[in-house]
Structure 1
Amino acid sequence: MLTSERKALILQVLRRDGRLVAKDFSQQLGVSEDTVRRDLRELAAEGRLQRVHGGALPSSPAVVDFGTRERSGLSIKESLGRAAARMIQPGQIVFLDGGTTNVQLARQLPPDLKAVIVTHSPSIAVELARHPMVEVELVGGRLFKHSIVAVGATSVEAISRIRVDLFFMGATGIHTETGVTTGDREEAAIKRLIARQAAETIVLATREKLGAASPYQVVPVVEISTIVMEPGVPSDMTDPLTAAGVTVIEA
């Protein structure tokens, strides 16, 4: 079998099964495990999968630029935003992470909601500037352009002084093995800090993020209170999450 054929088969197995074990796959093909691991390394370098101990997981497709993500899956993101907006109670202090789905959450807040929204996303702050009742606290720092959020020492200092009731976290991958993941080390550290400052952490997830992984873990799934996801996700993707103690809500 040619290398290109073997790599195509690897990606096919990942799409079908949601994971690949290098030892089992090498035995099925009758090639060495080192050969398979080399294929996995090369595919990972191309961003086509995420290597984990013993094999690989699907790589999250939610890593393209902000403008492209903003235009994709708009109706689903609106539904997720509406469902999440209903979870916010008057008088709460809420942290909205960056991301295109959380922008929709900001747009869906009821006009009579009186709450404090903390964010390090200029995009979300601009959306909330139109809200008549919500008080907005904007965390500053160095702008991470991929997600349009502030990161760095200034952000860390400000976030460490804030306690919030709810944290709506953005993520590019959610998997019971790798946890909640994202594509940048510094952004992952900021998200992790916010989660430590929150009584509850909630993730809004389109289907493409479930069962996928990115390079940097934010938190294990057991540290997530709730995942709000689109309807119709197969039970084999949701059952491991509920078994880990996560509340799964369909938008």
Structure 2
Amino acid sequence: MTRDIAARRHRIILDSLERQESISVEELALSLDVSRETIRRDLKALSAEGLLAVVHGGAIRGERSEASFASRRTVNRAGKELIATLAAAMLGDGMTILLDSGTTTEAVVRALARTDRKRLVVHTTSLENARLASRLQGARVFLIGGEFDPNEDATSGTEALRAIGRLSADFSFVSVGGVDAEGRLTDYTRAGAAIRSALLNAAEQGFLMADSSKFGLVLPSRIGGDDACAGLLVDRLPPEPIAANLTRNGVRLIVS
């Protein structure tokens, strides 16, 4: 009986998000006549199934996690460019770097084109990053093999994980899908989180990157490798509770 009641609440929540882009915990608790804690548990369960994305104070439609690469490029572009400039400044001539398929790592390659870095060796899962990096002066570019994911315009899957496991690099720059209130670093899919975790761990110094649009966003899959993370590059400091929890989790914040 309890399970049936929860299932009915879940249907109502998803129906509400069909009619509007976002909804608050407070609004749902009032309309369903249950506690805010009950609603938070409901949202967490639906998020785990990929049916919606939890944000601070409520939830947004699950389709947001399926946003196209082109639309993601337009979100907080200035913040991503600040992070990219910071990342590019860390590199020296002849270094080997690993890049995932995020829009922020794409900004990193564009930032490198504005520097005088030479002879970089770039390994990436992203087709666009490979194309952009091939124009860098003296660069050697390697596209990491694996199953092609058209949503990411990148390779993924077990073959890509095996290939990454054989790599060693000076730096890796890995984008983050969301940074939740507990300071956890999350991604849209398990496959994406696995690739990003592997890239993070394959470098001497692995940096995660999250622009401020990611703060408070909860996504289903957690990016691992906290011990290998040299820092989280951000365009501005997160709200104090998130920043405190990141520090408590051992994640060093580096502000551009």
Q: Could you say which TM-score interval applies, normalised by the shorter chain?
A: 0.7 to 0.9
| 2:244 aligned partner, one-letter code | D
1:133 aligned to 126, 133, 138, which one? Answer: 138
Q: Distance in 1 between matches of 2:79 and 2:37?
A: 41
2:43 is the counterpart of 1:40: yes
- Judged with a 3 Å threshold, the aligned counterparts in structure 2 of structure 1 residues 38 and 12 are, in CA distance, closer, same or farther, namely closer
Tell whether 2:95 aligns with 1:96.
no
1:216 aligns to what?
A: 221
1:165 aligns with 2:181: no
Residue 225 of structure 1: SS of its match in structure 2? strand
Q: CA deviation at 1:203?
A: 1.4
User: TM-score of the superposition, structure 2-length normalised?
Assistant: 0.75
Task: Please state how far the C-alpha of 1:174 moved relative to its aligned partner.
Answer: 2.1
- Aligned partner of 1:113 in structure 2 is 118
| 1:65 counterpart = 2:44 | no
**1:95-150 Cα deviation digits (max 9, x unpaired):** 01111111110011123333211111111011111111222121122211222220
Residue 210 of structure 1: CA displacement? 2.2
Q: How many residues align?
A: 233
Q: How well do the aligned residues superpose, as a CA RMSD in angstroms?
A: 3.6
Output the amino acid matched with 1:240.
N
Does residue 175 (structure 1) correspond to residue 167 (structure 2)? The answer is no
Match of residue 84, structure 1, among 84, 87, 91: 87
Conserved 8 A contact 2:92-2:117: no
| C-alpha contact 1:168 1:202 (8 A) present in aligned 2 | yes
Gaps of 5+ in 2: 1-8
Letter of the 2:73 counterpart: E
Residue 240 (structure 1) aligned with residue 245 (structure 2):
yes
Q: Secondary structure, in 3 states, of the residue corresponding to 2:98?
A: strand
The Cα of 1:13 is off from its aligned counterpart by 5.2
**Contact 1:115-1:135 within 8 A present in 2 as well:** yes
CA apart distance, 1:198: 2.0
Question: Alpha-carbon deviation of 1:43?
Answer: 6.2
User: Which of 123, 126, 130 is the matching residue for 2:128?
Assistant: 123
Which structure 1 residue ranges, 5 or more long, are not aligned?
Answer: 15-24, 51-55
